Structure 1
Amino acid sequence: MRSTTAETTCAGLARALGEPLPGTAAVATAWLCLEQRGPWGHNALLQSHLDPDLGRELDRRASAHGVRVQLVRRPGPHADTGGPRQVLLGHSAPGGWLRERTVDDPAELLGLDFARIAAGRHDGWGEPADPVLLVCTNGRRDRCCAVLGRELVERVGEHRREAIWETTHTGGHRFAPAAVLLPTGYTYGRLTSHQVDSALAAAAAGKVSLDGLRGRSAWSRAGQAAEIAVRRELGEDHADALEVGAASETDEHTEVEVHHRDGRCWRVAVRAEELDPPRANSCGKDAVRPFALRARVIRR
């Protein structure tokens, strides 16, 4: 544990410098999660026991419509035993859904209509599923996710087994332990066991926990920061209470509209601020100056 929290690691340094979390979630309208046991490489869709041609084609078709493909596996031993695989399909905008299905051949997923999925249509595919948390544990991409993510999974996996999956890459290694909650796409960083319990309990009640929140994947990075700012100002925790609307650029910031389902609307100024000192955004990479998104509600 000591070596992964030292300031020489990307997560240790980002934590020590207090790098802000809002506006750092990966942008994805929807998620396709395929169970793939066994080892994962740096690019898991191409470097695992999954047929790399299938992984490449799934990624090509899905990403063309803003659907993100993840490999997942249950916590515990990772031997590839073959056999049927569980698949999760989720849409992350307000009013979204999560569906699950078991497939004998993952090539079946090439038959999905990703344009309709991105538009919020599941067309009866699979069965409704309860919320799940995908925790990034792929050590071939970053050692912070490997160590911190797996430590978290070991702590919570036993009593939350049906709700926890290990996953390949959620973005934001420097915020490890990092995780994505489906179906909402709300993404978290620097998670503790208590925060996992809070996030899953809130999701089961149709709410969102703000502790460690990085943003909702359905929105742009600026939209994520704007939504969180309004939530904090209102104390609003209903997951689907807010939607991000139009955005416009000025010389100094991005101005984002955030709408409440009760008809209220806010304009939020989101400013990108370059941070010092330079630091690696993933272990082993060159140091860069990251941007933090500072959001301020300017008018209702």
Structure 2
Amino acid sequence: MTTCAALAAAEPLAGTAPVAATWLCLEQPGPWGADALVDSHLDRRVGAELARRMKETGVRIVLIRRPGRHPDLHLPRPRRVYLASTRPGAAWLARHTVEDPEELLDLDLTGDEPTFGTVTAAPLLLVCTNGKRDRCCALLGRPIAAELAAEHGEAIWESTHTGGHRFAPAVVALPTGYVHGRLDGPQTRELLKATTAGEMMLQGCRGRATWSRAGQVAELAVRSLTGDTTAASLRVVSESSDEVSVRHADGRTWSVQLAPTPLPAWPNSCGKPPVAGTTFSVLDITQMI
């Protein structure tokens, strides 16, 4: 069977990142099912409550594990937890540990400041490897995660579903929140290097998860025009049905005119029927200031 990644190889990447300004990553080794929060060795009641809160708050909650074999007969105690805010100018990554994942249910994850742990300057790359959700993530993601973890240790984690199996290998950079697809090992190394330096990487970029799909396309269009790759330099300040305003930290502002554009039908996941989609085409970019 031809994989969804192969079938959707021509689909544009811009504007396909999941939308989430805050990410919570909980260490959970062992097997992951298709809906990992409630189909893993995480306590099902805790997982279901985390899933409910994710829907209510928009915080993206993923399970993470160390690359390699996944025995879970001896679960780590305490477990590592990361909380990231991806907003430009207020992006941070906090590291924490919990003895029991149920402790997370007592925390407010929606604030602008870290609610637990210690803020770290070290970045995190999440590589989706949830093969029970889609085989492309396992086949294409696991080799990259293993290779880079051997070189960079805890900067690299395997992750459950982050959205977009067909763009595998799918990689999320935290705390910047830029999401990438179709990266190979050397490109992923460059992404880690860029994120460490407070930069973003245009190659393979699907967008900054902080923004809407239209906002992601507009921001990337401005970056392509200007060549600016400083992660904190640009922010989406307003949107309408066909226009997105993007502002630079130095005050320059661009008006990006967009139009929804239909795409050919591709399967969103292996074994699923093709689904017609849309993207946003950039019609014009005007610098206002």
TM (norm. structure 2) is 0.95
Work out whether residues 26 and 81 of structure 2, in 8 Å CA contact, stay in contact via their aligned partners in 1.
yes
CA distance in 2, matches of 1:218, 1:293: 17
Identity of aligned residues (%): 52
1:12 aligns with 2:16: no
Structure 1, unpaired ranges of 5+: none
1:260 aligns with 2:254: no
Which of 254-263 and 62-71 deviates more? Answer: 62-71
* Corresponding residue SS for 2:195: helix
CA distance in 2, matches of 1:158, 1:44: 25
How many residue pairs are counted as aligned between the two chains? 283
1:86 aligns with 2:76: no
1:137 aligns with 2:129: yes
CA distance in 1, matches of 2:195, 2:59: 21
Q: Summarize the alignment of residues 171-210 of structure 1 with structure 2, pairs less than 5 Å apart.
A: 171-210=163-202
* Corresponding residue SS for 1:138: coil
CA distance in 1, matches of 2:166, 2:138: 12
Work out whether residues 22 and 110 of structure 2, in 8 Å CA contact, stay in contact via their aligned partners in 1.
no
236, 257, 262: which is aligned to 1:274? Answer: 262
Q: Summarize the alignment of residues 1-300 of structure 1 with structure 2, pairs less than 5 Å apart.
A: 8-15=2-9, 18-80=10-72, 81-82=74-75, 83-94=77-88, 95-116=90-111, 120-123=112-115, 125-129=116-120, 130-249=122-241, 254-276=242-264, 278-300=265-287
Work out whether residues 165 and 268 of structure 2, in 8 Å CA contact, stay in contact via their aligned partners in 1.
yes
Work out whether residues 256 and 269 of structure 1, in 8 Å CA contact, stay in contact via their aligned partners in 2.
yes
TM (norm. structure 1) is 0.91
Structure 1 residues 183-207: Cα deviation after superposition (integer angstroms, max 9, x where no partner): 1110000011111111111111111
Structure 1 residues 32-56: Cα deviation after superposition (integer angstroms, max 9, x where no partner): 1000000000000000000111011
